[in-house]
Amino acid sequence: MSDVALQHPAADPRQRNIICVASGKGGVGKTFLSIALAQALARQGKHVLLFDGDLGLANIDVQLGLMAERDLGGVISGRLSLADAITRYETGGFDVIAGRSGSGSLATLSRSQLDGLRDGLKLLAARYDHVILDLAAGVDEPVRLLAEIAGTLLVVTTDEPTALTDAYAFMKLTAAPVRHADCRILVNLAASPEDGERTYQKLRKTAANFLKFDPKLAGVVRRDERVRDSVRHQMSHLARHPTSESAGDVEAIARGVTGAA
Ligand SMILES: Nc1ncnc2c1ncn2[C@@H]1O[C@H](COP(=O)(O)OP(=O)(O)O)[C@@H](O)[C@H]1O
Ligand SMILES: [Mg+2]
């Protein structure tokens, strides 16, 4: 523990029950996985909040076909508190704080706005069993600051070299949260569970060699056409295709997360 942490024990930014879904690269399935994990945890009887941390690109509400009357746009402009921006997604049995298309990206927030958002999220987290944060792609400071509040970090990759490189960059540039949180690799869009395991081993070896850090495997989610069908129909995957292999893969990951929480 550093001297600073000893002097200010309350300064630890982490909140144990916040799960950040991060990646580096866009399009690897963060939003799909965040929604599916939220529903899988809700099915275990957990009280869950899903937060769209990719503000400006209104992801979650579009994937869920949710017409959120209140969203982060109101919070950022100071009209709403974070708690006022909560919408219930009945089909999935969880709460959502939606982003808002065109409300400006994370990058446009001032440091004090970001700190306010982090504090607000940590306060709200006390009311839930789990808060899932769907992070934006990239490794910019706002993304790193949000990742810092996570007790569990799920770093999503696929077997594509660009996704692996960007997942590695995310772990390198967010070294502190990655080391202090429970950081796990989630391999999405895998051809098979074995293939996914091989992808994980590649990333794990690179992290061990260059970062002296040994991330665990959260799990592997297989490539499944029914995921695209769920996204097209703007429904959560566990509601539309509850018996699919990919839904089962996500449920196994959710069991692993609660086992550790
Ligand atoms: N396991 C999967 N099998 C098939 N398609 C997937 C899978 N995961 C994600 N996709 C597809 O990838 C697209 C991008 O996913 P998304 O969650 O929006 O990525 P991100 O949030 O990382 O940018 C989805 O719309 C979906 O069609
Ligand atoms: Mg997304």
pLDDT band at 3 (very low <50, low <70, confident <90, very high): very low
The residue to mutate among 156, 159, 227, 236, having the most atoms of ligand 1 within 8 angstroms of its beta carbon, is 227
How far apart, in whole angstroms, are the C-alpha atoms of residue 244 and residue 226?
8
Q: Which residues surround ligand 2, an ion (CB under 5 A)?
A: 30-31, 59
**Does residue 85 have a pLDDT over 60?**
yes
| Percent of the chain topping pLDDT 90 | 64
Query: Ligand 1 centroid vs 97 CA: distance in angstroms?
Result: 20
Range scoring the smallest mean pLDDT among 60-64, 73-77, 107-111, 175-179: 175-179
What is the residue with the minimal CA distance to atom 12 of ligand 1? 29
Identify which of 192, 224, 231, 241 to mutate to test ligand 1's pocket (most ligand atoms within 8 A of the CB): 231
The residue type at 210: F
pLDDT tops 60 at residue 52: yes
pLDDT of residue 258: 87
| CA atoms within 13 A of residue 121's CA, in its CB half-sphere | 34
Average pLDDT on 156-184 reads 89
- Please state the pTM of the whole predicted model: 0.93
> What's the mean pLDDT in 176-191?
87
Alpha helices by DSSP H, listed for 68-192, are 72-76, 111-125, 141-147, 161-173, 175-180
Pocket of ligand 1 (CB under 6 A): 23, 26-32, 59, 188-189, 221, 223-224, 227-228, 231, 246
The single-letter code of the amino acid at 169 is A
| 27 torsion bin: left (phi>0), alpha (psi -120 to 50), beta (else) | left
Q: For the residues 1-12, what does the mean pLDDT come to?
A: 48
**Predicted confidence (pLDDT) per residue in 232-257, tens digit:** 999 999 999 999 999 999 999 999 99
Mean pLDDT value across residues 133-155: 91
- Name the residue with higher pLDDT: 104 or 40: 40
* Band (6; pLDDT cuts 50, 70, 90): very low
| pLDDT band at 165; cut points 50, 70, 90 | very high
User: Domains (ranges, CATH) in the chain?
Assistant: 15-258 (3.40.50.300)
What does pLDDT average to over the chain?
89
**Residue 2 pLDDT exceeds 50:** no
Q: Taking 90 as the threshold, does the pLDDT of residue 57 lie above it?
A: no
CA nearest neighbour of 245 among 230, 231, 229, 227:
227
Distance CA(210)–CA(213), nearest Å, equals 8
pLDDT of res. 177: 67
| Residue 5: predicted pLDDT | 41
**φ, ψ for residue 189, nearest 5 deg:** 60, 35
| Tokens read off for 34 | 């965040």
Nearest partner of 182 among 156, 218, 212, 158, judged by Cα: 218
